[in-house]
Amino acid sequence: MAMYGIPVLILKEGSQRTVGREALRANIMAARALAEVLKTSLGPRGLDKMLVDSFGDVTVTNDGATIVKEMEVQHPAAKLLVEVAKAQDAEVGDGTTSAVVLAGALLRKAEELLDQNIHPTIIIEGYTKALKEALRILDEIALKVDPSDRETLKKVVTTTIASKYIGGPLVSEKLTNMAIDAALTVAEKKPDGIYEFRVDDVKIEKKKGGNVLDTQLVYGIVLDKEVVHPGMPRRVENAKIALLDAALEVEKPEITAKINITSPELMNAFIEEEARILRDMVEKIASTGANVVITQKGIDEVAQHFLAKKGILAVRRVKRSDLEKLERATGGKIVSSVRDLKPEDLGYAALVEERRVGNDKMVFVEGCKNPKAVTILVRGASDMVLDEIERSLKDALNVLRNVLRVPKIVPGGGATEIAVALKLRDYAAKIGGKEQLAIEAFASALEEIPLILAETAGLDPLETLMKLRQYHSEGKVNAGIDVINGVVREDMSSISVVEPLLVKNSMIKTAAEAAVTILKIDDIIAASPLKKEEKKEKKEEEETSPGKTSF
Ligand SMILES: Nc1ncnc2c1ncn2[C@@H]1O[C@H](COP(=O)(O)OP(=O)(O)O)[C@@H](O)[C@H]1O
Ligand SMILES: [Mg+2]
């Protein structure tokens, strides 16, 4: 039975296949290229990237997570790294740039080992052992902290906030304090002494205009909405709030109904009937004792008028997410039909008030039943500033969540990476064989972080590395690079550059796992790329991402 010469097609037409070492090299190259891009944005002296998407929208940032999200990465291996970076961001909200950079370094070192004819399996084995040991070392060198000690919290927040543009020490100080106050307000103390909260529990509302220093922490919920009718009160104390997912409008039939109006009397009757329905709705709401109505849907002008006459303050077209926050904050219940509204569904707040913020008006719901509701109202001259402040605040909140959850810290400025590298080399010697080389490669890859930080600080990278190794071998485990002042310091905690253990931990884990995943691939099977038009359609489908800045 001759089977020769019969082509067997298992792949779709136009697919491309790359196998073995060639595939591995191609993947390493792509992942390294991505790491190269992110490298220069690491740390407080990191440079910004300007990202222009296919619609011409521009984002300027040095936030690794944002950069990888906005970059349209093509190569599958680089995409894999992007996914990993996003996962890291979702999990701990920090250390994204470092994770990508470290993954890139691990892959570069792996390539050197491949050049020495070391099999990928050995490298993978070595890296896996190195990771396990690195995590153990990290835990050993980490310092236990008291989560209720505000000074420690300030230190960790300052380190994160310093790596973003936010305009001077006054602003940093203010945002740091605000983030801590917000976090401590929403956090729940668990029986084991650990504090827990979700970053989303702190509402961040941005309003263009004013100065960053006008940014304020509000103990309650702020809605970017106005009171709907001029005849309504602007301020209601002891607010009993109806939270509605219902329109205060007369339902229009689905299909266009044709009504023949044959006389002016009929016309009047018709209008009166509508008014009656709306008045009944308002009567029903008022009968529950509500003096504030907040709805996700619309409010008809006639209904507004009736509400105003009853002295009820009303806000319409509120975002679902805000309504849900209000539900939690005020202890009320979202009701989707006015008919079903009961007094026990009403939420409570000591004060609901419309206030002028810049050129706009916003509604403040303060003194809520549940005091764990807070909003940070961010002010700033442009959308770009607002976005960067929001990212800084999110970073700060993430860092707080991390250090409150696992109350341990490690020194920043490359100190931890040097310390772990040093101990890993000792460990490598114990393991021996070819795996030793891979573990040593892992240690060298970790040193990539201080090398880059030195460069951004204008220091000679190699000289700095030598000096740091020296200090560490003398037992100065906190020695690192003061990037802001461009000097090597024997103790990073003296300038408050410290990070939560959880971030370092997950950064190293993420990077190592990504590198190992890429090293395991020996076959790339790629479908033929989509044609231009198809791509455009796809893009349009996916276009939902908000938060971009248009110039
Ligand atoms: N003042 C500082 N001096 C030296 N290093 C710093 C300082 N502030 C932050 N770092 C370091 O910068 C790195 C984090 O940089 P960042 O741009 O936030 O990237 P990532 O996305 O990885 O968090 C960490 O290694 C941290 O220790
Ligand atoms: Mg960071």
Q: Which residues contact 488 (CB under 8 A, 6 or more apart)?
A: 459, 464, 467, 468, 471, 479, 480, 481, 482
Q: For 199, which DSSP code?
A: G
- Same structural domain, 66 and 89: yes
pLDDT of residue 524: 66
Q: Is residue 535 part of a domain?
A: no
Residue 426's contacts (CB-CB under 8 Å, 6 or more residues apart) are: none
pLDDT tens track for 408-462: 999 999 999 999 999 999 999 999 999 999 999 999 999 999 999 999 999 999 9
**Whether the Cβ atoms of residue 477 and residue 141 lie closer than 8 Å to each other:** yes
**442 domain-assigned:** yes
User: Using a 6 Å cutoff on CB, does residue 380 contact ligand 1?
Assistant: no
Provide the 3-class DSSP secondary structure of residue 241: strand
Span 86-120, pLDDT tens digits? 888 888 888 889 999 999 999 999 999 999 999 99
Q: Kindly state whether residue 86 falls inside one of the protein's structural domains.
A: yes
Asked whether the predicted pLDDT for residue 543 surpasses 60, the reply is no
SS3 track for 289-315: CCCEEEECCCECHHHHHHHHHCCCEEE
pLDDT at position 57: 75
526-547: average pLDDT: 55
Confirm whether the ipTM is greater than 0.95: yes
The CATH code of the domain that includes 324 is 3.50.7.10
Domain count for the chain, please give it: 3
DSSP-derived 3-state class of residue 235: strand
User: Could you tell me if the CB of 500 is within 6 A of ligand 1?
Assistant: no
User: Which atom of ligand 1 lies nearest, measured to the CA of 63?
Assistant: 21
Question: What is the rounded CA–CA span in Å between residue 240 and residue 235?
Answer: 12
Check pLDDT > 60 for residue 545.
no
Find the 516 Cα to ligand 1 centroid distance in Å.
25
CA distance 21 to 138: 34
SS3 407: coil
Let me know whether 140 and 214 are in one domain: no
pLDDT at 510 over 80: yes
Is 2 within a domain? Answer: no
pLDDT in tens, 232-273: 999 999 999 999 999 998 876 555 666 666 777 877 887 888
pLDDT > 70: what percent of the chain?
88
Distances (CA, A) of 7 to 10, 11, 242: 9, 11, 70
The finding on whether 220 has its CB within 6 A of some atom of ligand 1 is no
- CA of 348 from ligand 2 middle (Å) equals 38
pLDDT of residue 5: 63
Q: Which of 55-69, 85-99, 223-237, 360-374 has the lowest mean pLDDT?
A: 55-69
**pLDDT cut 90: percent of the chain above it:** 55
Phi, psi dihedrals of residue 408, rounded to the nearest 5°: -140, 140
Q: Which ligand is nearest to the CA of 504?
A: 1
Q: Which of 518, 460, 507, 494 is CA-nearest to residue 110? A: 518
Ligand 1 and 497: CB distance under 6 A: yes
235 and 361: one domain?
Answer: yes
pLDDT greater than 80 at residue 347? yes
Each residue's pLDDT tens digit, 288-310: 999 999 999 999 999 999 999 99
Least confident of 60-69, 509-518, 521-530: 521-530
In a domain, 482, yes or no: yes
Residue 539 in any domain: the answer is no
- Higher pLDDT among residues 30 and 162, named by residue: 30
Out of 2-16, 74-88, 221-235, 467-481, least confident range: 2-16
Same domain, 19 and 135: yes
- As given in the structure block, the two tokens for residue 150 are 């505000």
**Are 105 and 131 in a shared domain?**
yes
Q: What average pLDDT does this structure show over 13-21?
A: 70
Q: Running DSSP on this structure, what letter comes out for residue 219?
A: S
Does 341 share its domain with 241? yes
Q: What is the per-residue pLDDT for 140?
A: 94
| 443 or 6, higher pLDDT | 443
Ligand nearest to the CA of 396: 2
Rounded to 10 deg, the angle between the 76-92 and 20-39 helix axes is 50
Please check whether residues 151 and 262 belong to one and the same domain: no
Kindly report which listed range (52-66, 215-229, 231-245) carries the lowest average pLDDT score.
52-66
Q: How high is the pLDDT of residue 159?
A: 80
Whose CA is closest to atom 12 on ligand 1?
Answer: 43
> Does residue 262 sit within a domain?
yes
Task: Look up the pTM and report it.
Answer: 0.77
Q: 3-class DSSP state for residue 470?
A: helix
Q: 146 falls in which pLDDT band (50, 70, 90)? A: confident
Residue nearest to atom 13 of ligand 1 (CA): 43
Which residue, chain included where needed, has tokens 């740039």? 97
Same domain for 427 and 388, yes or no, is: no
Judge if 138 and 152 occupy the same domain.
no
- For residue 330, pLDDT over 90 is answered with yes
**pLDDT band (50, 70, 90) for residue 287:** very high
Q: Is the pLDDT of residue 75 over 80?
A: no
For the stretch 460-465, contacts whose Cβ atoms lie closer than 8 Å and that sit 24 or more positions apart, written own/partner, are 464/488, 465/418
| pLDDT at site 490 | 94
Is residue 512, in this structure, part of any structural domain at all? yes
Average pLDDT, the chain: 87
What's residue 263's pLDDT? Answer: 76
Domain termination residue (choose one: 353, 381, 406): 406
Residue closest to 144 by CA, chosen among 188, 193, 90: 193
pLDDT at 454: 96
Residues 365 and 382 in one domain: no
The residue segments making up the domain with residue 423 are 13-144+410-525
Q: What is the pLDDT of residues 166-212, one digit of tens each?
A: 677 788 889 999 999 999 999 888 887 788 888 888 999 999 998 89
Residue owning the nearest CA to atom 16 of ligand 1: 43
Q: Could you identify the residue written with the tokens 């996914």? A: 83
Q: For residue 248, what are the CA distances in angstroms to 16, 299, 312, 354, 517?
A: 58, 5, 13, 21, 55
DSSP one-letter string for 347-380: EEEEEEEEEEETTEEEEEEEEESSTT-EEEEEEE
Among the candidates 310, 345, 369, a domain finishes at: 369
Residue 158: predicted pLDDT: 85
Q: Using CA atoms, how far apart are residues 412 and 424, in angstroms rounded to an integer? A: 18
**Shared-domain flag, residues 321 and 427:** no
Catalytic residues: 63, 96-97, 395
Would strands 292-295 and 202-208 be described as parallel, antiparallel, or unpaired? unpaired
Q: Do the Cβ atoms of 281 and 332 come closer than 8 Å?
A: no
Over range 208-220, report the average pLDDT.
92
b/e burial code for range 436-452 (CB count within 10 A of at least 16 → b): bbbbbbbbbbbbbbbbb
Across 124-133, 150-159, 445-454, 527-536, least confident range: 527-536
- Fill in the amino acid letter for 256: T
pLDDT digits (tens, 9 = 90+) for 182-194: 999 998 888 877 8
Phi and psi angles of residue 282, each rounded to the nearest 5 degrees, phi first = -65, -40
Give, as residue ranges, everything with CB less than 5 Å from ion ligand 2. Answer: 94
Model confidence at 549, in pLDDT bands (50, 70, 90)? Answer: very low
> How many whole angstroms separate alpha carbon 437 and alpha carbon 439?
5
Look at ligand 1, atom 23, and give the residue with the nearest C-alpha.
Answer: 95
Whether 64 lines ligand 1, by a CB cut-off of 6 Å, is: yes
Q: What is the mean pLDDT of residues 500-512?
A: 94
Asked if residues 483 and 44 have their Cβ atoms less than 8 Å apart, the reply is: yes
Q: What is the pLDDT of residue 67?
A: 75
Q: Where does the pLDDT of residue 515 fall: very low under 50, low under 70, confident under 90, or very high at 90 and above?
A: very high
Q: Please determine, for residue 343, whether its predicted confidence score (pLDDT) is greater than 50.
A: yes
The number of residues in the chain equals 551
Final residue before a domain boundary, out of 342, 369, 396: 369
- Which helix (DSSP H) or strand (DSSP E) does residue 234 occupy? none
Same domain, yes or no: 296 and 387: no
What CATH number does the domain containing 28 carry? 1.10.560.10
Q: What is the pLDDT of residue 536?
A: 56
Structure tokens belonging to residue 275: 């008014």
Neighbours of 58 (CB within 10 A): 15
The pLDDT, as a whole number, for residue 358 is 86
Question: Phi then psi for 525, rounded to 5 degrees?
Answer: -115, 110
Q: Comparing C-alpha atoms, which of 102, 74, 76, 75 is closest to residue 88?
A: 102
- Phi/psi of residue 550, nearest 5 degrees: -105, 140
| 62 Cα–ligand 2 center, Å | 10
CATH of the domain at 180: 3.30.260.10
